[in-house]
């Protein structure tokens, strides 16, 4: 499982149709099956990744805020696989993936970055300094370091059945790409090779002009280009070890990134598609349908049952929020074709919840009573709300949201996840989250 943090769907060549797009996913794009309607259950990392690695929506797992931990009662994908004798390893970089938040459950190897900061890094200003001044000294789990460690781990476990998760952080703010991935530009000469003033942008004190926004996007795309190069190196390593053809490989992201699509910046604050509609490429063992396209909408939580199916690990579909993708990947009809997909729990911005059903997308704001309704095929960039024009669809989507929320509450109750568990966040992780603006 390869996840690239904050990766925009239109930055992947397979989705943009542009050969110059910063992300290619290398041989996976050629050999895999592409999903065009993959959605995240939330626009930020913690709820999104807990969902992907448990098969439960964030509401069921209880991971809807930054101060709770995944309950020990939740069976993670790694726990299920470990019990079946599958060796599990993870190399991940994101403060929300620290063991305090619970996603390390079940992994025999769980190498999490950033590591606790050294004294020099504290002197130079914490997380930002570690991405700039001290980058060459202490890269703190950049994509090259994670790839190096993952390849060594794979080589050591090539003789057994294993599950590996690698999560690259690099496209996340701050945008400080290595020089080799940054294309020459007058904008870089003017403002430099590193963007760190996210707070000023979020408060409209900077980044309001087209050339400023173009510079920020240029740096973001360079970060994507760098992470993609490491994804390709990881896949090449699998090929050289003779493991690529026989492997199930999933390439995706936790969420997207807004670059002023709806007037905002970064992620975690809305449920528009630039944040929750994701790239998703899946290659099965000796993939029989390379290049196939699946248009049916799916939730990334389906990764857990799909991986369990690959390893023939039995599981109760009724104890998971969504079905896996095995039938779809095989080209067979799927009873979930009419499934309604939930997304919600933004980290910042107004409280809201969304439902995707076929061509329709509905977003409700309970605090204000505002509602949005989009016909995605005709309006893929979600510019025109049809709440007044299509009252019958609006009513159906309201009911769909209420049904989904009631079903999630009932499932949470039946599984015994009654109340969230407060996360015991170590000081070093708290410092990282504060530097990134989460706390």
Please report the DSSP string for 254-321 in residue order.
S---EESTTS-EESSS--SHHHHEEEEEEE-TT-SSTT-EE-S-EEGGGHHHHHHHHTT----GGGSS
386 in Cβ contact with 375 (< 8 Å): yes
267-306 per-position pLDDT tens digit: 999 999 999 999 999 999 999 999 999 999 999 999 999 9
Tokens of 41: 């259950």
* Position 139 confidence tier, pLDDT thresholds 50, 70, 90: low
Question: Taking all residues of the chain, what is their mean pLDDT, rounded to a whole number?
Answer: 91
Pairwise CA distance, residues 195 & 30, whole Å: 33
Q: Among 167-171, 219-223, 411-415, name the one with the lowest average pLDDT.
A: 411-415
178-235 per-position pLDDT tens digit: 999 999 999 999 999 999 989 999 999 999 999 999 999 999 999 999 999 999 999 9
Degrees, nearest 5: CA angle 110-127-67:
60
Pairwise CA distance, residues 373 & 387, whole Å: 5
């Amino acid at each position: 499982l390869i996840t690239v943090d904050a990766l925009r769907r239109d930055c992947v060549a397979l989705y943009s149709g542009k050969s110059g797009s910063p992300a290619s996913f290398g041989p996976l794009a050629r050999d895999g099956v592409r999903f065009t309607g993959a959605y995240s259950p939330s626009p930020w990392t913690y709820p999104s990744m807990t969902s992907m690695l448990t098969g439960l929506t964030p509401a069921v797992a209880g991971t809807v805020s930054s101060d709770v931990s995944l309950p020990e009662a939740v069976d993670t994908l790694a726990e299920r696989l470990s019990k079946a004798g599958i060796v599990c390893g993870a190399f991940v970089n994101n403060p929300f993936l620290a063991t305090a938040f619970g996603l390390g459950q079940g992994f025999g190897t769980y190498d999490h970055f950033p590591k606790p900061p050294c004294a020099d890094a504290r002197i130079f200003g914490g997380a930002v300094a570690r991405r700039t001044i001290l980058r060459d000294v202490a890269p703190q789990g950049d994509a090259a370091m994670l790839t190096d460690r993952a390849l060594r781990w794979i080589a050591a476990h090539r003789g057994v059945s294993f599950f590996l998760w690698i999560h690259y952080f690099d496209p996340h703010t701050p945008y400080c790409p290595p020089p080799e991935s940054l294309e020459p530009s007058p904008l870089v000469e003017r403002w430099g090779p590193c963007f760190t003033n996210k707070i000023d942008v979020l408060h409209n004190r900077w980044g309001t002009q087209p050339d400023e926004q173009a510079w920020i996007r240029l740096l973001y795309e360079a970060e994507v280009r760098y992470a993609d190069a490491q994804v390709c190196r990881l896949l090449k390593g699998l090929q050289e070890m003779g493991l690529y053809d026989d492997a199930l490989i999933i390439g995706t992201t936790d969420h997207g990134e807004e670059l002023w699509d709806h007037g905002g910046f970064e992620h975690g604050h809305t449920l528009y598609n630039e944040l929750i509609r994701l790239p998703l490429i899946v290659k099965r063992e000796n993939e029989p349908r390379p290049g196939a396209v699946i248009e049916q909408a799916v939730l990334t939580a389906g990764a857990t049952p799909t991986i369990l199916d690959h390893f023939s690990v039995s599981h109760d579909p009724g104890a998971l929020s969504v079905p896996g993708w095995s039938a779809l990947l095989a080209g067979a009809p799927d009873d979930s074709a009419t499934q309604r997909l939930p997304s919600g729990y933004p980290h910042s911005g107004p409280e809201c919840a969304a439902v995707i059903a076929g061509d329709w997308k509905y977003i409700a704001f309970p605090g204000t009573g505002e509602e949005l309704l989009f016909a995605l095929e005709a309006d893929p960039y979600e510019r025109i709300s049809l709440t007044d024009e299509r009252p019958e669809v609006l009513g159906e989507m309201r009911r769909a949201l209420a049904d989904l929320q009631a079903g999630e509450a009932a499932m949470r109750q039946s599984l015994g996840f009654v109340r969230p568990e407060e996360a015991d966040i170590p000081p070093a992780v708290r410092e990282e989250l504060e530097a990134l603006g989460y706390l």
